[in-house]
Amino acid sequence: KDAFASFYLQRTTREFAEDLDKARTADDFKPDSVPFLVHALQQGTALYSDADKARVM
């Protein structure tokens, strides 16, 4: 489960690297926004069933 979450987060941040950089360098982005952003990205793992997660790993 943790392995899939790590894999998913790595792939997601790689795929959206340009968008994440734009958000990070925005004038209204604050350091305390990072945990919120990470949590939001991690929520994407909920879209996958346990069987799908096992198949990917």
Q: Got the DSSP string for 1-51?
A: -HHHHHHHHHHHHHHTHHHHHHHHTSTT--TTHHHHHHHHHHGGGGGS-HH
pTM of the model as a whole: 0.76
Scan for tokens 């959206």, then name that residue.
Answer: 16
CA–CA gap between residue 36 and residue 6 (Å, rounded): 17
pLDDT tens sequence across 13-54: 999 999 999 999 999 999 999 999 999 999 999 999 999 999
Domain ranges of the chain: 2-56
User: Which position has the token pair 């929520």?
Assistant: 43
Instruction: Give the pLDDT confidence score for residue 22 in this predicted structure.
Output: 95
